[in-house]
Structure 1
Amino acid sequence: MTASVRTALITGASAGIGATFARHLAARGYRLLLVARRADRLEALAAQLVEHHGARCEVFAADLTDPAAPAAVLDHAEQQGLGIDVLVNNAGLSGRGTFAETPWQDLAAEIQLMVTTPTELAHRVVPGMKKNRWGRIVNLSSLAAFAPPAASLLYTGIKSYTLNTSQAWDMELKPHGIHVTALCPGFTRSEFHDVMGTRDEADHLPKILWQEPEAVVAEGWAAVMKGKPVCVPGLVNKVSAAAMKPMPTRLGYHAGKALNPFKNS
């Protein structure tokens, strides 16, 4: 199987890192299934990718905070005759209110979007990847996964979940030809802060802390292709992660793999 016949499913594909992943993979001959809430943005992006790269692009508008969405996305893929070879779990958000004062439905939506949905999507596509003996999964974590907990926020805990489970999946699935990488960017120029209402605060941060999404995606894709379970893109972010994490990530991965007393033989 060559890259030209492989299909990538990208969530949160309408802007930012998700859209950049779509451009990156379209330029490398992948077929794409682009998923996000905004159908108009998806269709505009798909048209650009067809024009510039001749890529086959399917779009599927879905609210990934809906528990029914993962099954609907993959039912659509099956109807289109698309087996998923690459999964980029990119969709995300961050709440701003306090835990106690935020309505439960908002917290539940955040957990569904960034914990349950990406986990279910991965669980649903892995059997096909195992059958083909080839697969790539990129889970968007964050530099925040290495940081101490922050008052009120679920975000650091969620991104820590993504970091840890990505490594666990990689340990299990790598013998089957499937690489899983937790991509942990720091501050990235995208619409994220506009959507979250944190643009003013973000604009006051030093320029050295920021990366362009193209740099994040290029390093993240290279990492998953090389079989690296964790990717912290950019020198500043690597230094920050090392400073925040007592045990180096690479050492922690190998220690967890070797010392897990509950692993299946």
Structure 2
Amino acid sequence: MPPARPLSLVTGASAGIGAAFARDLAARGHDLVLTARRVERLEALAQELRDQHKASVTVLPADLADPAAVLQLCEALDARGLRVDWLINNAGYGVPGTFEAVDWPVHEAFIRVLMTAPAELVWRLLPGMRERGYGRIINVASLAGHVPGSVGHTLYAASKAYLIKFSQSLALENRHRGVNVCALCPGFTWSEFHDVTGTRQLMNNLPGFMWQSAEDVVREGHDAVERGDVVHVTGGVNRFIKALMKLLPDRFTLWLSAKESRRYRDLGEAS
């Protein structure tokens, strides 16, 4: 049985899907631990959740690109006696440009934030969930993990495919210990993501029906992990795209991916 007030840790909680998860969980009676780099935004969100939902909210700023960040975060939880019941691995971003046009330290930080840190957080927090017989883990992946890789943002789809496979194995290993694991796979979502990567103007060329709100993504994700869904693609349009990509020949989908990449991505290619 879940505790009366589950404690949820949300990474990348300062904006977008992470902030929407924090608001949704607080409204459902959860207490929260919020982490991201932007302290001011975290503090403002924490106060909002305390005022509106009487939630107990702890702010623990962290840069998950730092190899020591996850251990320090978990030590801070232990020092406060906080036992995490829900883990929302949401922190992420994109790196525009072709692979060789971007310095390796930038790629290295990306891999640490989107792949290494989520895995380490699960590894450190999962034993407590298994011991208590209750836990929920949502790894925020993407529709990009189900479709062919694109030109530019080279590691993005790869990192999301990794999260999907990681979640599947975790779900199989823990389904009989009261721990549900779900890879949440949204498509285009209204957030700051494309502003940060400098592709907002390009993204504005996409038709409106391709987009979802962060709140809709979160509601679907919450329902999916509670149902025990291991992988959940949000939105009917995105589910159709996933199904279509599985039916079409690889050669055609790769051609289509290359064509669309040049329409909607800032490739940042070296001259």
TM over 0.5: yes
Quick one: higher RCO (CA 8 Å, sep 6+), 1 or 2? 2
2:136 aligned with 1:101: no
| 1:170 positional shift | 0.3
**In percent, how many aligned pairs have the same letter?**
47
Deviation digits for residues 2-55 of structure 1 (CA, Å, limit 9, x no counterpart): 443321000000000000000000011111000000000000000000000000
Coordinate RMSD, CA, aligned? 1.2
Distance in 2 between the 1:42 and 1:26 partners? 14
Match for residue 136 of structure 2? 136
| CA distance in 2 between partners of 1:47 and 1:22 (Å) | 12
1: distance between equivalents of 2:47 and 2:3? 21
Q: Give 1:221's aligned residue.
A: 222
Residue 83 of structure 1 is matched in structure 2 by 83
How far off is 1:58 after superposition? 0.2
**Residue identity matched to 1:203:** N
Alignment correspondent of 2:190: 189
CA distance in 2 between partners of 1:146 and 1:106 (Å): 24
Distance 2:203 2:65 in 1: 26
Partner SS, residue 188 of structure 1: strand
CA contact (8 A) 2:2 2:134 kept: no
CA contact (8 A) 1:10 1:33 kept: yes
Partner of 1:205: helix, strand, or coil?
A: coil
Structure 1 contact 30–55 (Cα < 8 Å) conserved = yes
Q: Closer, same or farther in 2 for the Cα pair 1:122/1:246, shift >3 Å?
A: farther
Look up the match of 1:124: 124
- Cα displacement string for residues 42-90 of structure 1 (whole angstroms, at most 9, x for unaligned residues): 0000000000000000001111111111111111111111101100000
Q: How does 1:162-173 map to 2 (within 5 A)?
A: 162-173=163-174
Are 1:5 and 2:5 an aligned pair? Answer: yes
Task: Report Cα offsets for 1:116-160 as digits up to 9, x if no partner.
Answer: 000000010000000001100000100001111213411111110
In structure 1, the partner of 2:68 is: 68
Kindly tell me: are residues 3 and 236 of structure 1, through their superposed partners in 2, closer, same or farther at Cα, counting changes over 3 Å? farther
The corresponding residue for 1:251 is none
Alignment check: 8 A CA contact 1:3 1:29 kept: no
Matched residue SS, 2:126: helix
- 2 CA distance for matches of 1:54 and 1:243? 45
| Cα deviation digits, residues 145-203 of structure 1 (max 9, x gap) | 11112134111111100111101110001111100000000000001111111100111
Paired position in structure 2 for 1:201: 202
Q: State the distance in 2 between where 1:17 and 1:131 align.
A: 29
SS in structure 1 at match of 2:100: coil
Could you say which residue in structure 2 is the equivalent of 1:31? 31
Determine the C-alpha separation between the residues in 2 that align with 1:25 and 1:149. 33
- Secondary structure of the 2:229 match is coil
In the aligned structure 1, how far is the partner of 2:109 from the partner of 2:237? 32
Partner residue, 2:263: none
CA distance, structure 2, for counterparts of residue 244 and residue 238 of structure 1: 10
- Paired positions, count: 247
Task: Give the counterpart letter for 2:56 in structure 1.
Answer: R
Q: Larger deviation: 91-100 or 110-119?
A: 91-100
Name the structure 2 match of 1:15: 15
**Could you tell me how far apart the structure 2 residues matched to 1:101 and 1:19 are?**
32
1:146 and 2:146 aligned: yes
Corresponding letter in the other structure for 1:126: L
What are the ranges of 5 or more consecutive residues in structure 2 without an aligned counterpart?
A: 249-271
Q: What is the CA deviation profile of residues 177-235 of structure 1, one whole-angstrom value per residue up to 9, with x for unaligned ones?
A: 10000000000000111111110011110000000111100000100011100111111
- Which shows bigger deviation, 73-82 or 34-43? 73-82
Matches of 2:213 and 2:93 in 1, distance apart? 18
Cα 1:52–1:3 shift into 2, 3 Å: farther
